[in-house]
Chain A
Amino acid sequence: MDWEELRRSRATRSDGDVMLEVRQLTRFVADKPIVENVSFAVRRGETLALVGPSGAGKSSLLRMLNRLDEPSSGTVLLEGVDYTTLSPRDLRRRVGMVMQQAYLFPGTVAENVAFGPASRGESVSAERVRELLERVNLAGYEQRDIGRLSGGEAQRVSLARTLMNDPHVLLLDEPTSALDEDTRFGVEELIQEIARERNLTSILVTHDMDQAARMATRVAVLEAGTLRQIGPAEEVLKTRDA
């Protein structure tokens, strides 16, 4: 091992507290950069809010973090390991995602909650499904058809489905913005509580500055694909208000 390699391995190891590190992530679509040279790190258990105008590239950035989209250049380190060395399935099991829409699969609530592990041929106990449904305040919903869920219920099933994989990182792409006023706050609180209980590292895309202030410890501002600002929530949100 030469000196350069040693230094690099030390550097990653000494950041023991860093869960996810984004390194110069760039993505071009049709020769147009939609995310450009974005770097930041997120500590274990932290919630980072990603804000910015519509079309700034927030979703595009988030989708690279679980490799739903391929970066044109740059990479992501998950607990110090380059994520391209993991299989996509393993990566996505560890880095869960909740989208704006629930996108449930036709069938029952229980089938949806069990889907991740079941699709990989892992056994899923009914007990585990029951516990998760209880945790998202949907006790007894196992056999309910997904066509008979309200928007808030569907989004909570989607959350339970993601949690079934026991992820370490949670990517949240405007998880409450499709919900109506009454259910929005409940889902937000639920996500916040569960993230705290499980010491999850979260990245929350939101256009709601109040939500960012309530949920995030730090805030990053993305504009036209580039990172304009990142820092403690109060500081960043104060300068954005001014």
Chain B
Amino acid sequence: MMHNLIAMLLSPKVFTGLTQVGVASLLVLATVMISYWGRVAIGKETAVSMVRGFVQIVIVGIVLIVIMDTTIFLGYVALAFMIVFAAVLSKRRAQGLPHATRISLTAIGVGSGVTVLIMIFTGVIAPNISTMIPVGSMIIAAAMRTNSLTLNRFRAEIEAHVGQIEAGLALGAPPSTVVQPYVRNTVQAGIIPAVDTLRSLGIVFIPGLASGMLLAGANPIYAAEYQFAAIAMLFAASTLTSLIAGLMLRGTIFSPAEQLVLRP
């Protein structure tokens, strides 16, 4: 196996790939310059994310090759690791919301975990590492995106409606009733990417799974069906994640004496 790995790393394909990475990076660099020109500074964060993303995907690629033929247990471990990492990344969007780590971990973990497990047990995902990692990671990534959006939007909704929320509390209303409209907006905002993915499926967006299957010579109708199932699961994972995050967040912004404790 070690021999395989070394052969793979030294193959001419890897160098062709590096040129492709270079061209893509130049493109990102150009957008960063444009952003400076438009006075929207996204430069540093983008550059860091880009380098980091590249290193990560290469390392993961290598790890995948190494564990590919081992026990399926390692596949579950890898997915669990991805969930934890997604939660840690995502909670940074919380900017001081209380219990953000715990909420992100629960929302992403339950949202994507339940969905992936159902897919594996119903046989939609074949119980082998080379299937469960790419499909699982796609779902975890969707859950992460949803969670980040949910945290971000929740904060914005609350901060924009402090007056109404406190007016409601001052009328002796239960906190959950007072924030209900804002939690609803938050959850709806959280699933926008998932809804858009469903809507544009096949027209704007032919996702990786289907492309891969088509390239591998699968029956195109079957590839489409399979892809739809995966995207539907992705939608389910997003909705579950957003709901869990929204409801958990709701509980963190009030004190036991029903006071709004989150302030701009």
Name A residues whose Cβ lies closer than 8 Å to a Cβ of B: 66-70, 84, 88-93, 96-97, 99, 101, 103-106, 115-116, 119-120, 158, 161-162, 165
Inter-chain contacts of A92 with B (CB < 8 A)? 169-172
- Chain B residues, CB < 8 A from A93: 171-172
State whether A99 and B163 are in contact (beta carbons under 8 Å apart), knowing that A67-B257, A70-B255, A88-B257 are contacts in the complex. yes
A-B contact pairs, 25 of them (CB 8 A): A66-B170, A67-B257, A67-B258, A68-B166, A68-B170, A70-B259, A88-B258, A91-B172, A92-B169, A92-B170, A93-B171, A93-B172, A96-B170, A99-B163, A99-B167, A103-B164, A105-B167, A105-B168, A115-B168, A119-B168, A119-B173, A119-B177, A162-B170, A162-B171, A165-B171
Q: Which of A67, A69, A90, A115 contacts B171 (CB 8 A)?
A: A115
| From B167, B172, B255, B257, residue with most partner A Cβ within 10 Å | B172
State A92–B168 Cα separation when bound (angstroms): 10
Cβ–Cβ < 8 Å partners of B177 in chain A: 119
Name which residue of chain B comes closest to A100, CB basis. B163
Closest to A101 in B: B163
Q: Are B172 and A103 in contact, with the CB atoms below 8 A?
A: no
Interface residues on chain B, size class = 10 to 19
Q: Is the CB of A68 within 8 A of B171?
A: no
A86 → B minimal CB distance (Å): 10
Chain A residues with Cβ under 8 A from B212's Cβ?
A: none
In the bound complex, CA of A89 to CA of B255 (Å): 13
Across-interface contacts of B181 in A (CB, < 8 A): 105-106
Give, as a whole number of angstroms, the nearest-CB distance from A152 to chain B.
18
In the assembled complex, the Cα of A158 lies from the Cα of B166 at a distance in Å of 13
**Residue from the list A88, A103, A119, A161 in contact with B163, Cβ < 8 A:** A103
Residues of A with C-beta under 8 A to B172: 88-93, 116, 119-120, 165
Q: For residue A103, which residues in chain B have a CB less than 8 angstroms away from its CB? A: 163-164, 166-167
Q: Please count the residue pairs between chain A and chain B whose beta carbons lie under 8 angstroms apart in the complex.
A: 72
Closest chain-A Cβ to B164's Cβ sits at a distance in Å of 5
Encode B170-193 as 1/0 by CB contact (under 8 A) with A.
111110011001000000000000
A125 CB to nearest chain B CB (Å): 18
- Provide the bound-state CA to CA distance between A92 and B175, in Å: 13
Interchain CB contact (< 8 A) of B174 among A70, A89, A165? A89
Closest chain A residue to B181, Cβ basis: A106
In Å, the complex CA distance between A158 and B171 comes to 10
Residue pair A70, B257 in contact (C-beta under 8 Å): yes
Closest residue on chain A to residue B170 by CB atoms: A97
Q: A119-B173, A165-B171 known; A68 and B164 CB under 8 Å? A: no
* Beta-carbon contact of A105 and B164 below 8 Å: yes
Question: Residue on A with the closest CB to B167?
Answer: A103
Residue with the highest number of chain A CB atoms closer than 10 Å, among B178, B259, B260 = B259
Q: Report the bound CA distance from A106 to B164 in whole Å.
A: 10
Q: Hey, which chain B residues are within 8 Å of A69, CB to CB?
A: 259
**Interfacial residues of chain B within 129-182, with CB under 8 A of chain A in the complex:** 163-164, 166-174, 177-178, 181
- Residues on B with beta carbons closer than 8 Å to the beta carbon of A91: 172
Nearest residue, chain B, Cβ from A106:
B181
Instruction: Select from chain A the residue with minimum beta-carbon distance to B263.
Output: A29
In the complex, A116 Cα to B172 Cα: how many Å? 6
Which residues of A sit under 8 angstroms from B168, Cβ to Cβ? 105, 115, 119
CB nearest to A162 among chain B residues? B171
Of all chain A residues, the one with the shortest Cβ separation from B166 is: A68
A116 touches B163 (CB 8 A): no
B166: chain A residues at CB < 8 Å are 68, 99, 103
Name the A residues within 8 Å of B173 (CB-CB): 89, 115-116, 119-120
A91 to B260 CA separation, bound complex (whole angstroms): 16
Q: Which residues of B contact A89 (CB under 8 A)?
A: 172-174, 258
**Once bound together, how far apart are the Cα atoms of A89 and B168, in whole Å?**
10
Residue of B164, B171, B255, B257 touching A119 (CB-CB under 8 A): B171
Min CB gap B215→A, angstroms: 50
Residue in B closest to A89 when the chains form the complex, CB atoms: B172
Q: Please indicate the chain B residues that have their CB under 8 angstroms from the CB of A120 in the complex.
A: 172-174
Chain B residues with CB under 8 A of A104: 164, 167
B236 to chain A, nearest CB (A): 30
Most A C-beta atoms less than 10 A away, residue of B167, B170, B257: B170
